[in-house]
Chains A and B, each alone.
Chain A
Amino acid sequence: MTIVAEFQIDHRQILAPDGHLVAPLPPFAADVDAVVAMYEAMTRVRVFDAKAVNLQRTGQLGTYPSSLGHEATHVGVGAAMRPEDVLAPVYREYGTQLWRGVTMTEILTYWGGDERGSDFAGPRHDFPWCVPIATQTLHAAGAAMAFKIRREPRCALAYIGDGGTSEGAFYEALNLAGARSLPVVFVIVNNGWAISVPVAAQTASQTLAQKAVAAGIPGIQVDGNDVFAVRDVVSRALETARRGGGPCVIETLTYRLSDHTTADDASRYRSDAEVEQAWSLEPLLRVRAYLRRAGAWNDAREQSLLQACSRQVDVAVSDYLQLAKPSTDAMFEHLFAELPAHLHAQRTTARKYAAKPSGH
């Protein structure tokens, strides 16, 4: 008997939970302003996210999936991507989206039940939020195929959750990416839970990164609460892909500190002790500690940042709350490039029976 294939999955960490370096500093982190920028972005999205949850609880926003705990993964990925790259999100990755130019108001508008939220003013080429699980991975692969055919030095990056890696579309996307050597990076955000189903019940695979092995592409695991490691690993993967070196799967280990969405109550299926333990590993803590130790952060700056974030969030919320309900024409306007004749009468009917505008 001969061994014909073997595999190995590496795990990367640079910043330990207490803010100490356990590996050499990556080049971008040598610039302390760059680190501060990431910390500010992580704080900003956390402040925004808390406000969004609050809006839902007060009847001013629809069901909302919180990104609490995922800030290092999301900001690390955002900072690693180039503007001309294309993001295919799931529906939780606001840190990445805000970094790339999606606005807080757009995020609220979408979860507030209005398609205008997906008409990003910023990254016009990014995919919108994707509810059907794992289907976005094939979109990213298709965009990467377009870049390859057109010889554009651009990459696609698709997010997917731990639960999503059970879907057929995920396996198909990895397979296509590998078989055609596409410039696409898949980021599996393993936050431990697919609503109420823990990863152990999701798969027998020891890591999720190793699902790449079956597709013949590299897979690597990274501490998802370590923004240095996330940005470093994702940057390298994107540059490899951009150079024609093919796709990659990156599994980031993090924890969903919130409920799955505001319609969920995680206390029904997981212990307070587990959540408390996860809080001790949370991503903002370690970057803050690192910056303090480096003499680049203090209480005054923290307060100033929190106030600035609050003000920014308040403006975004105000803009969102003032957005008037769209006219019924909105249902017809973008169905096709040009509305077919048979729908003109329906559009008129919809106008006639338009429901009274309701508040948020």
Chain B
Amino acid sequence: MAHGWEMQHDDSVVVIGQDVGANGGVFRATAGLQARFGADRVQDTPLAEATIAGMSVGMATHGLKPVAEIQFMGFLYPALDQIVNHMTRMRNRTRGRLSCPVVIRTPHGGGIHAPEHHSESTETLLCHIPGVRVVCPSSPARAYGLLLAAIRDPDPVMFLEPVRLYRAMRQDVSDDGQALPLDRCFLLREGADVTIVTWGAMTLESLRAVVALEAQGITADLIDLATLSPIDSETILTSVAKTGRLVIVHEAARNVGVGAEIAAIVAEHGLYDLQAPIQRVAGFDTIMPLFRLEHDYIPSVQRIVDAVQFTLAA
């Protein structure tokens, strides 16, 4: 819907990717767009991710706003050369003469019994790169508002769409063209005892953990990070100053995950507010298993509840 709104109001917005045209995208994210806006503005590309990213650079530096789809995050890597070496650098390299208002959308994370390489959450690789924003919505409504913001932003945005949310959530979204702010966390729940920071599909488990904890008289600030880079430290630090306890939850592997950056920020700027060590509940530092084990990999509600309990017992 966000695509449709923005394409109607800004004729420089074009959609490209594999199977985004008549097929409407393998997750139907672009369904109906080609019929509405034509085959010039909604294009199926040849099967080549570097092509999708590289042509986006060329289109964006010459007057268009490409919204490009990489079919799964596991297929992003051939595009990284173009993303890291050009998309994120063109404005800096040319002192603002050329720039890349590109959005690259890609399905993120696992949990839907998909084949190998279709369940990746390697957002850390992107967050480390200067010159690009990394956004991961946690609901259809926030996906709408954040995608509008991403398309309108004059600089590159990597838009990671949690696969579990395509199917798990039915939500009425108002097609009103209202964007949500980038670079800002969303407070999904307010509480006093602990701060939980998470994003993407892990907000589902985190919300269920919060409900389970409330039954035990424990309340939490549940923060949806939403923009993984740059991080809205202010919201997190304000919350930790109130609660004194921090649990970070992400599906991505623990080692050098975005949780590590959040933990470092809180250690640098909020150390004296902490009453317990920071806890990270994350994917194991293993390869994402094929789907028979995927629910053992993806952090469970119990792991989150136990982590919160640990901070309270410390």
Contact = CB atoms under 8 A, between A and B. Distances in A.
Co-assembled chains A and B: yes
A141 B97 contact: no
A138 B98 contact: no
B98 to A, nearest CB: 7
Contact of A116 (B14, B55, B78, B95): B95
B62 A342 contact: no
A244 to B, nearest CB: 14
A250 to B, nearest CB: 19
A138 B83 CA distance: 12
A175 B48 contact: yes
A172 interface: yes
A127 B97 CA distance: 10
A179 B46 contact: yes
B19 to A, nearest CB: 15
Given A132-B81, A139-B58, A337-B155, A146 B91 contact: no
Interface in A107-129: 115-116, 118-120, 124-125, 127-128
A132 B59 contact: no
A333 B52 CA distance: 28
Given A115-B92, A119-B97, A141-B54, A336 B62 contact: no
A254 interface: no
Contact of B40 (A135, A144, A149): A149
B93 A150 contact: no
B92 A334 contact: yes
Contacts of B53: 138
B62 A86 contact: yes
B64 A172 contact: no
B79 to A, nearest CB: 10
B94 A172 contact: no
B92 to A, nearest CB: 5
Question: Which of A118, A169, A336, A343 has most chain B Cβ within 10 Å?
Answer: A336
A128 B98 contact: yes
A290 interface: no
A340 interface: yes
Contact of B63 (A141, A150, A172): A150
A24 B54 CA distance: 40
B104 interface: no
A141 B55 contact: yes
B61 A138 contact: no
B92 A169 contact: no
B85 interface: yes
B14 A149 contact: yes
B59 A118 contact: no
B233 interface: yes
Interface in A125-171: 125, 127-128, 132, 135, 137-150, 156, 168-169
Contact of A335 (B51, B86, B91): B91
Given A115-B93, A334-B95, A337-B99, A141 B41 contact: no
Contact of A143 (B62, B82, B93, B183): B62
A127 B211 CA distance: 54
Contacts of B51: 138, 141, 172-173, 175-176
B202 interface: no
Nearest to B49: A172
A142 B85 contact: no
Interface in A177-234: 179-180
A168 B50 contact: yes
Contacts of A341: 183, 230
A115 B54 contact: no
B151 interface: no
B166 to A, nearest CB: 28
B183 A156 contact: no
Nearest to A114: B95
A174 B41 CA distance: 21
A135 B14 CA distance: 22
A128 B54 contact: no
B93 A169 contact: no
Contacts of B78: 168
B231 interface: yes
A128 B93 contact: yes
B115 interface: no
Contacts of B90: 128
Nearest to B94: A118
A120 B56 CA distance: 22
B201 interface: no
A337 B58 CA distance: 18
A335 B130 contact: yes
A225 to B, nearest CB: 30
Nearest to B95: A119
B97 A140 contact: no
B146 to A, nearest CB: 16
B235 to A, nearest CB: 12
Given A172-B48, A334-B92, A341-B183, A138 B54 contact: yes
Contacts of A128: 90, 93-94, 98
Given A88-B58, A333-B96, 17 more contacts: A118-B94, A118-B95, A127-B61, A128-B98, A132-B81, A132-B85, A135-B85, A140-B58, A141-B54, A142-B55, A146-B62, A149-B64, A150-B63, A150-B64, A172-B51, A180-B43, A334-B92
Closest 4 CB pairs of A and B: A142-B58, A138-B54, A142-B55, A119-B95
Interface of B: 14, 40-41, 43, 45-46, 48, 50-51, 53-64, 78, 81-82, 85-86, 90-99, 130-131, 154-155, 183, 230-231, 233
16 contacts: A115-B92, A119-B96, A124-B97, A127-B98, A138-B53, A138-B57, A139-B55, A142-B57, A143-B59, A146-B64, A179-B46, A334-B94, A334-B95, A336-B131, A337-B99, A340-B230
